[in-house]
Amino acid sequence: MKKVKADPKGVLTGSHYLDGDHSLAEGGLAAGCRFFAGYPITPSTETAERFSERIPTVGGVFIQMEDELGSIAALIGASWAGKKVMTVTSGPGFSLMMENIGLACMMETPIVIANVQRGGPSTGLPTLTGQQDMMQARWGSHGDYEIIALSPDSPQECFDLTIEAFNLAEMFRVPTFVMTDECIGHMHEKVVIPPAEEIELVERKWYTGPKEKYLPYKPDKDLVPFMIKAGDGYRFHTTGLTRDERGYPVINAECQDVCVRHLVDKINKNADKIIKLKEEEIDNAEIIVISYGITSRVAIKAVQKARKAGIKVGTLRLITVWPFPEKRIKELAKKIKAFVFPEINCGQVVLEVERCSWGQTQVIHVPHCGGWVHNPDDIFNAIKEAAK
């Protein structure tokens, strides 16, 4: 894995007062993103607006596409031409993107997608928050595959995790999602952008061997194949069909097994390298509150109240949601009385916690249909209930 310093041209070093949407754009520019294709959608549009304003003085392309189907197609093309690429969207646009997210997985193409989530289904709540696209981020396109999804809890993390998303996308040749939401997207806070030399970026895994021996999908030791770009004389082929190491279509169950298993293993077997969690006061905890994104900030109040009431509560924040921290949850499930899991949906990521708990502990979900964040008392009551 080759690491390089960020290109100072894209890094707006300093202390800023930014909302999450703008911070996503700055994260992308700092990470070296020089191609953005998108389509306006509330509450994510500000990211595209900022990118369109900033990119002409940095050097690169912003294009507003005709729809989100086209945005992702353009990203994949641009990524294969050698650029770092990103887009931003929200629910309905995310649904349209699913088709070519599958293609990006199949072609093993690094792309970054930020989703500023709003309430759904359908047009739902364009201007109000939700965390209802978490399962869609994981498996919204057809077929079997695995992706990486991160969840920032602040405008600062929108910046930091967008850079992280680029690094992971490049490292694993996979679509990587920054799953934020309307609250954080429109929340203004201090965002510190460090000097370029303090931002470490992962360089794409470029192939350097003899041209005639290049195989676009031959897994390396870390399971990630080397990549090349169009126009370098390899005369390579790639397809959305099930393909072999050469990138040639092979339509049978044997090749499908190798191809799909690879797409899944590439992420799952590298999960330890990918997953980031933030744990607090876990050691003596009887109850652990699991959360991600904006909900983890709301949960703090409930946790503080519970601690005052003498309940031993720890917190676990999923910075990485996908791949899911299966091992850690299994470990913790053996030690505690209950997990409490608030999320702004009717029960999505909690299903994974239930699965990993294997009946060894209670899992109490605190659902919310979207439109606003939880009332901390609802989370507190769940903690109290669990502690009984």
Partner 1 sequence: MKKEDQLEEKNPIEDLLRMDRIPHIWCPGCGIGTVVTSFIEALKKSKLDLDKVVVVSGIGCTGRVAGYVKLDSFHTTHGRAVPFATGLKLANPELNVVVFSGDGDIAGIGGNHFIHAARRNMDITIICVNNFNYAMTGGQVAATTPLGANASTAPYGNFEFPFSLPYLADAAGATYIARWTALHLRRVTKSIQEALSRRGFSFIEVITPCVTLYARRNRLGDGLNLLKYYYDNSEIHHGADTRTLDISYQGKLVVGKFVDKEKPTFLDAMNEHLGKVLGDKYVLYGRINDDRD
| Shortest Å, Cβ 138 to partner 1 | 20
> Would you say 225 and 246 are in contact if contact means Cβ atoms under 8 Å apart?
no
Give the nearest distance from C-beta 32 to partner 1 in angstroms: 13
Give min distance, CB of 230 to partner 1, in A: 4
Asked whether 81 and 231 are in contact (CB, 8 A), the reply is yes
CA distances from residue 102 to 131, 146, 175, 300 in whole angstroms, order as listed? 22, 10, 9, 36
CB atoms within 10 A of CB 274: 20
200-202 vs 3-5, strand pairing mode: antiparallel
**Binding positions for partner 1, rule: CB under 8 A:** 9, 35, 37, 56-61, 63, 65-67, 69-71, 73-83, 85, 99-100, 102-103, 107, 229-241, 248-249
- Least distance in Å: CB of 17 to partner 1? 23
Residue 220: both structure tokens together? 């390396």
Closest approach, Cβ 90 to partner 1, in A, equals 20
Least Å distance between CB 34 and partner 1? 8
Comparison of 93 and 370: residue with beta carbon closer to partner 1? 93
- Toward partner 1, which CB reaches closer, 139 or 234? 234
Choice between 100 and 115, CB closer to partner 1: 100
- Residue 265: C-alpha distances to residues 260, 271, 278, 293 (Å): 8, 9, 25, 27
CA distance to 86, 112, 254, 291, 335, per residue, from 130 (Å): 22, 20, 41, 14, 31
Would you say 36 or 380 has its CB closer to partner 1? 36
Given the complex with partner 1, which of 67 and 200 has the nearer CB atom?
67
Give the three-state DSSP class for 86.
strand
Q: Which is nearer to partner 1, 218 or 229 (CB)?
A: 229
